[in-house]
Structure 1
């Protein structure tokens, strides 16, 4: 099967989670060196209102290890396991985020992810400084909130993210992603030139859900359009040819997540998706090339891949 004359965006999930520690500068440099159309990552807000990268709302023992307290006798130490919103930037900076610590033997990433010990959790500003040097790569920024958050906190968080992106003149190159669609409502208000991506999965797209800003996602395409989304990003299990066709008929692009096996990548290409989010940009490069589709430009000269990367 060959697809020609189409462009499918390659989005590096959490940078390149399958190859480097997730949501870190080494992961982004590696993704850029391989070549991506967009870098996807997650952000949270510290106690002192600094936007930092982290997938969960708390520091996870899977991706972080304590080193030492930020100040002698700090009563909040150890920090891993605590909510980001209860920790200052100085405390978060003490965590080593460069090695994965799985609790099971079949963790899919520990076999392919090259550890980078000593890596710290970056701020959104640091990521923007890096990505501002690569003008053809977009930012896909997922804001990690949930329906328990007060509306005021959702607004505060969205504004904090918007201010950083605007400070680096990256609004037009950015997309704000959220399962909690209140973020999209606020993004439309505070950073209107950025894209707004409605994330959905089976557990959030159900009748009466608190995730979709009061909308009923029985028709997720219609609901996403009603909330002001500029694209739809469903999980793999929800991404069907019918959903893709329905969304695209209403000019709503579809980005499927998270696709790591080449056979699945080919299947979603056959569905006509607009973007594929993957932990393995190298694999998707190969699949796109095999099907004679355009691939994003690698940047090995600008951001070389470190030696010693494991082979997936």
Structure 2
């Protein structure tokens, strides 16, 4: 289900991707955020995952408890000096659930509603979608980098196998895009599940075509997902000419959303799906 942009003279479809659910409105990567995003009519839930000590697939942006958004199991502030102390890969999920990640004020998101909540399992998000009888898709970032291997995350082969097993167990493989900045993760996805749609993430310090060339897989990624300021109209046109879908991140200002739609991107990842709805006049 993609939404038609009614203000465009051409029939144009856009994939509305709620970043970490809807981080601008609700605590990121939590069940309340995903529920709100579904209510706002997103077509895709964008989220991040890591792995716990007991091999559970946990929805989280960092593989540790970020002091900016989480308190410890006793409700105490986590000092910045202990940022990586609570390593999820060294914690069982029952321990992870004890940390609140929804009551702290987020300095970058003043509209974000405060609610006591915790890091859910990926299966919890799937259960929510099933209860809602929603046909929403999922864009799942596998958080990984070489310095994390066997410290904060499994090495790529094992990591990807754990994620794919969870998707198969929940019968969600066909509704998922798997994305990563880590080229080794994307190579493993192609090897272990060749038909799964993948997105190459490109950060603000990288060059799009340079990173594509480094990927070196038999079948190119279906989607290129760069930091939005890396794009211009020509780059979007050239990427689409090579049959890539273009889904930039993370676009929160309406003027930037309008620009991306004008350039005919295929989707927009945003912390504020409500603002994108306004632009699309939904």
TM-score > 0.5 by shorter chain: yes
Task: Identify unmatched segments of 5+ residues in structure 2.
Answer: 1-5, 76-81
Q: Which residue of 2 aligns with 1:26?
A: 32
What are the within-5 Å matches in structure 2 for residues 166-181 of structure 1?
Answer: 166-181=168-183
Alignment partners' CA distance in 1, 2:50 and 2:12:
35
Classify the secondary structure of the residue corresponding to 1:198. Answer: strand
Q: How many residues align?
A: 265
1:143 corresponding residue in structure 2: 142
Residue 81 of structure 1 and its aligned partner are, at CA, apart by 4.0
Alpha-carbon displacement from aligned partner over 1:249-298 (angstroms, at most 9, x marks no partner): 01100001100011110011111100000000001011012xxxxx5xxx
Does 2:114 align with 1:108? no
Q: Is the 8 A contact 1:224 1:232 kept in 2?
A: no
Cα pair 1:174 1:194 within 8 Å, conserved: yes
How far apart, in 2, do the equivalents of 1:169 and 1:97 lie? Answer: 28
1:161 aligned onto 2:168: no
**Equivalent position to 1:128, from 111, 121, 126:** 126
Change (3 A) 1:183 1:88: same
Q: What is the TM-score normalised by the length of structure 1?
A: 0.79
Counterpart for residue 7 of structure 1: 13
Look up the SS of the partner of 1:139 in the other structure: strand
- Structure 2 counterpart of 1:184: 186
Bigger relative contact order (CA 8 A; separation at least 6)? 1
The match for 2:201 among 158, 176, 199 is 199
> Where does the alignment leave 5 or more consecutive residues of structure 1 unmatched?
70-77, 207-216, 290-294, 296-312
Higher share in helix = 2
**8 Å CA contact retained: 2:14, 2:267:** yes
Residue-by-residue CA offset, 1:219-273 (whole Å, 9 max, x unaligned) = 4455568473110000011121122111110110000110001111001111110
CA distance in 2, matches of 1:147, 1:242: 32
SS for the counterpart of 1:159 is: helix
**Cα distance in 1 for residues equivalent to 2:67 and 2:61:** 12
Contact 2:187–2:215 (Cα < 8 Å) also in 1: no
Counterpart selection for 2:60 from 54, 58, 71: 54
> 1:67 deviation in Å?
2.8
Note the aligned Cα RMSD (angstroms): 2.3
Is contact 2:105–2:114 with CA below 8 Å preserved after alignment? no
Q: Deviations over 1:2-32 (max 9, x none)?
A: 4231001100000000000000000000000
Tell me the SS of whatever aligns to 1:115: coil
CA contact (8 A) 1:132 1:170 kept: no
- SS class of match (2:198): strand
Match of residue 236, structure 2, among 244, 247, 254: 244
1:142-190: CA deviation from partner (whole Å, max 9, x where unpaired): 0111022449611111111111111111101001110002111111222
Counterpart of 2:3 in structure 1 is: none
User: Whole-Å Cα distance in 2 between the matches of residues 108 and 283 of structure 1?
Assistant: 16
TM-score normalised by length of structure 2: 0.87
